[in-house]
Structure 1
Amino acid sequence: METEKTAETSCSGDHGNQKYTENDRNTEEGAVTDNRDKMKKNITVFRGIAFVVGTVMGTGIFITPNSITQRVNAPATSIMVWLAGGLMAGIGGLVFCELGTMIPVSGAEVAYIRKIYGRQPAFVSVWLIHFLLGGMRLAIGVLGFSEYFWSLFYEDPRDVNWWLNKLVTLLVTYIIVTMVACKPTLILKSIVLFTATKFLATFVIIGAGAYYLAQGHTENIAVGFTGTNTDPKEWGDAWNGVIWSYLGWEEICCVASEIQNPQRNIPIIVLASISILTGLYLCTVISFHIVIPLKDMIDPASSAVASQFGLITMGEAGKVILALFVVVSTLGSVQCSFISNSRYIHSGAAEGLLPSCLTLVSKRFRTPIVSILYCTIITTIFTLIGGIDDLIGSASFTRFPFFVLCSVGVFVMRKTHPDLPRPYRVPLIFPALFICFGLFVFITPFLNEDWLISLVWILVLLMGVPLYYLLMENVFNLKFPKRMDSSATAVLKKLLDCE
């Protein structure tokens, strides 16, 4: 077997299923084993849709409507931004459908970039997005949970003791981690339950908004586009919020190795879930704007918009009920994110881009337990040091360079691998549009006053290049990284009963 050879795909089986033919990548001191095929294939179409909806519909729709309206300053403009976000998520989902059915292994953009461009770009993507910042999305989820949880007891959740807030947040995180690591089937069933709760929450909001409108309350929504803010800096921030709220449409591709019949089911799951999400988001945002006056929506002190909505429509009881719904909703989203994030890390290691100890799978639970534990550590750090708004901006901005690479990859693969079976073929206008959109999202953070923060993230991203040559190419012939990895792998295998 050739050393550090780029993984190739081949067709095998009666149904044209594809798999990496090079599962074991030799190194000087051993082999990196691709254990992705050892995990349970327990994701059906129904569970897949619940997984995507459960991942996407968490803190976003229940927190960001305030900040987005603050940026654009008009209800109709806010609704149009949400619609545009849904359309872009749908286009991105179609792009990933072709890549996900053509390369049906867990890892999403990590696996696709590795296949299309080679090891170096794939290493940079896994280094920044998943290895370094992998806990960011999880931290946003648990911080969103804490905000609504404390709104049940405090008029302003920010009044709660800092240490108490972090303690409760981390305790909930560790309970979820235990379930994700040790009860994979139970966690999928609970995701279905929590997703049903999300639907119920949005149905309550949509129903209350419709009732409010039927009573003749049109004064808030009648503002329309009046007073729309045209400042491109503010629009950039608004886009970040909407993009974050839809982010997760790609997550089903990160667990492709666990999907039953992925070539058939990935497009069904992606298209169905994005259609459901866009419809629910639009109706929910419209209901928010029907009920909540613009002056309250743009109040910088307002963030728990669902609680605000419940207070106006149903009084104190409504505030408590909707806050409870959102608490449960965010817990479901965090569960989904822990599953997908750990699979990103596991796939990066399986591709030979991260320490091989991260490929270990529990013999008993058939889960990538070492990757889950690593994600837990990073999530803990971001939970302790980060604020929701800061994390949301960074989470959106850092993902899109790699989404653009994947979209370009559709054109590249059509040219370099024209005969590779494609159970789904996306019309090329869609990856072209998504490339333009991704570049727009990447550029807009440099238009606001916090552009230096974006520059820092670019420098962190570029650090991946020398790290690649230092760690992957081992230009200085260092021995201790591989020895440390081998030792850690041996210890963790024995300690956690892994293979």
Structure 2
Amino acid sequence: MDEDLKKANTHNGSVSGAVEAKKHDQPKAAVLQKNVGLVSGICLIVGTMIGSGIFISPKVVLEGTGAVGPCLCVWAACGVLATLGTLCYAELGTMIMKSGGEYPYLMEGFGPVLAYLYSWSTIIMLKPSSFAIIALSCAEYASTSFYPECTPPQVVTKCLAAACILIITVVNCLSVKLAYRVQNFFTAAKLLIIVIIVVSGIVLLAQGNTQNLRDPFAGATTSFGAIGLAFYNGQWAYDGWNQLNFITEELKNPYRNLPLAIIIGIPLVTVCYIFVNIAYLSVLTPIELLQSPAVAVTFGDRVLYPLSWIVPLFVVFSTFGAANGSCFTAGRLTYVAGREGHMVPIVIPVLVVIVSCYLVLAPIIDKPEWEYLYCTVFIVGGLLLYVPFIYYKFNCI
């Protein structure tokens, strides 16, 4: 009886050990590491929101309101709305602790169909197009420095935009830590240029340049549609307030850091936007602001000369940082959608393999050349080294 019991225990131990060994042998699923702290979370919000909008769109908001006072009110109201929206997202983020922004919330609340449609439209169209637009804005400001007296050629702008996209993609592929360190650096850079603009405006106002702010509501537009359009354009500059929810799983202590980063980040952006607009109006009249193609550059030419070149340079930094933040969060949506099986249908790789085989074989069959044979022999010739030295691990020493 004792021997039978020992045999049974031995057998059970062997089975248990085999099961444990099998578990260890199985590949582990990729997981998101909690590497993003409070400062990096704030930098992601601020860095993604402050792109090119505040340096270009103030004139659009002013055009919709017709006066300085309503324009500043719209900027403040947009900040309040963005803050309220992010607080709702903070509640969702602490209840549903998954990355991917709206995707997991739609999945939990409405099921996989709406979640899939959201991920499909966002990954395939919205995120890439937004990424491209920001990269083009960055390239336009970068190329302007090389063509001060004329419009840069489109081929130069597009090549710079492609280089921007390539660099950001490589950075985000190499390392998460490198990606958010890049984000932190460029966020600091864009805050620096905003501080320079705001301080310059304060100095000018202290010197008595307040004529554009004395009667701020004169000539205000009361049209319901015009105010709505101005509000919409102001919201464009606040776009990105929901980006932190795309990386919830990577936040350290998300119950604390998610709402805290939002509470700090959004009001900080709002204050920056209001004071930057006031700084612009300390130099430019409303008409001049409306006529300027790039308000920040015009401001720099009048106030910071001969150092006015730093404005387009820092706008490049700002747009580059916004593009990096957009890429950083978009990758998490793709990961989460793929984890649910929504973005990795087998038909796509099968189709790619078939097309690739056609592209390789079609020119060889249509017009055979000796070069194709040479390339094949060279590639296959690598087996002469692989078989003895790598597969059989033959070592002469």
Report the TM-score, using the length of structure 1 for normalisation.
0.62
Write the deviation string for residues 242-269 of structure 1: whole angstroms up to 9, x where unpaired: 1111111110110111111222221111
Confirm whether residue 236 of structure 1 aligns to residue 225 of structure 2.
no
Q: In terms of Rg, which structure is larger?
A: 2
Confirm whether residue 170 of structure 1 aligns to residue 159 of structure 2.
no
Q: Name the CA distance, whole Å, in 1 between partners of 2:51 and 2:347.
A: 41
Q: Name the CA distance, whole Å, in 2 between partners of 1:261 and 1:34.
A: 24
CA contact (8 A) 2:144 2:152 kept: no
Write the deviation string for residues 71-91 of structure 1: whole angstroms up to 9, x where unpaired: 222122111111000000000
Q: Name the CA distance, whole Å, in 2 between partners of 1:351 and 1:245.
A: 32
Letter matched to residue 325 of structure 2: C
- Taking the TM superposition and a 5 Å limit, the aligned residue runs for 1:95-244 are 95-155=88-148, 159-244=151-236
**Structure 1 residue runs without a partner (length 5+):** 1-32, 357-481, 490-499
Letter matched to residue 277 of structure 1: V
- Taking the TM superposition and a 5 Å limit, the aligned residue runs for 1:403-414 are none
CA contact (8 A) 1:194 1:328 kept: yes
- Taking the TM superposition and a 5 Å limit, the aligned residue runs for 1:52-71 are 52-71=45-64
Relative to structure 1, the CA distance from residue 484 to residue 311 in structure 2 (aligned partners, 3 Å threshold; closer, same or farther) is closer
Aligned-residue sequence identity (percent) comes to 30
- Taking the TM superposition and a 5 Å limit, the aligned residue runs for 1:391-402 are none
Partner of 1:403: none
Post-superposition offset of 1:167: 1.0
Post-superposition offset of 1:487: 7.9
Post-superposition offset of 1:486: 6.9
- Taking the TM superposition and a 5 Å limit, the aligned residue runs for 1:84-483 are 84-155=77-148, 159-299=151-291, 302-315=292-305, 317-355=306-344, 482-483=346-347
Q: Name the CA distance, whole Å, in 1 between partners of 2:35 and 2:237.
A: 27
Write the deviation string for residues 227-285 of structure 1: whole angstroms up to 9, x where unpaired: 22233443333222211111111101101111112222211111111121111111111
Confirm whether residue 81 of structure 1 aligns to residue 70 of structure 2.
no
| DSSP-derived class of the 1:291 partner | coil
Post-superposition offset of 1:203: 0.5
Question: Which has the larger helix fraction?
Answer: 2
Post-superposition offset of 1:70: 2.2
CA contact (8 A) 1:104 1:263 kept: no
CA contact (8 A) 1:77 1:228 kept: yes
CA contact (8 A) 1:48 1:252 kept: yes
Post-superposition offset of 1:34: 11
Write the deviation string for residues 391-439 of structure 1: whole angstroms up to 9, x where unpaired: xxxxxxxxxxxxxxxxxxxxxxxxxxxxxxxxxxxxxxxxxxxxxxxxx
Q: Name the CA distance, whole Å, in 1 between partners of 2:296 and 2:276.
A: 10
RMSD of aligned residue pairs (Cα, Å) = 2.2
Relative to structure 1, the CA distance from residue 65 to residue 318 in structure 2 (aligned partners, 3 Å threshold; closer, same or farther) is farther
Q: Name the CA distance, whole Å, in 2 between partners of 1:296 and 1:169.
A: 30
CA contact (8 A) 2:301 2:308 kept: yes
Query: Equivalent of 2:44, from 43, 48, 51?
Result: 51
Partner of 1:401: none
CA contact (8 A) 1:64 1:303 kept: no
Q: How many aligned residue pairs are there? A: 327
Partner of 2:384: none
Write the deviation string for residues 303-361 of structure 1: whole angstroms up to 9, x where unpaired: 3211111112122x2421111111111111111110111212222222333225xxxxx
Write the deviation string for residues 366-410 of structure 1: whole angstroms up to 9, x where unpaired: xxxxxxxxxxxxxxxxxxxxxxxxxxxxxxxxxxxxxxxxxxxxx
| DSSP-derived class of the 1:191 partner | helix
Q: Name the CA distance, whole Å, in 2 between partners of 1:34 and 1:140.
A: 37
Letter matched to residue 322 of structure 2: S
Q: Name the CA distance, whole Å, in 2 between partners of 1:72 and 1:145.
A: 28
CA contact (8 A) 1:67 1:303 kept: no
Letter matched to residue 46 of structure 1: V
Write the deviation string for residues 15-41 of structure 1: whole angstroms up to 9, x where unpaired: xxxxxxxxxxxxxxxxxx995x61232
- Tell which has more relative contact order, 1 or 2 (C-alpha 8 A, sep 6+): 2
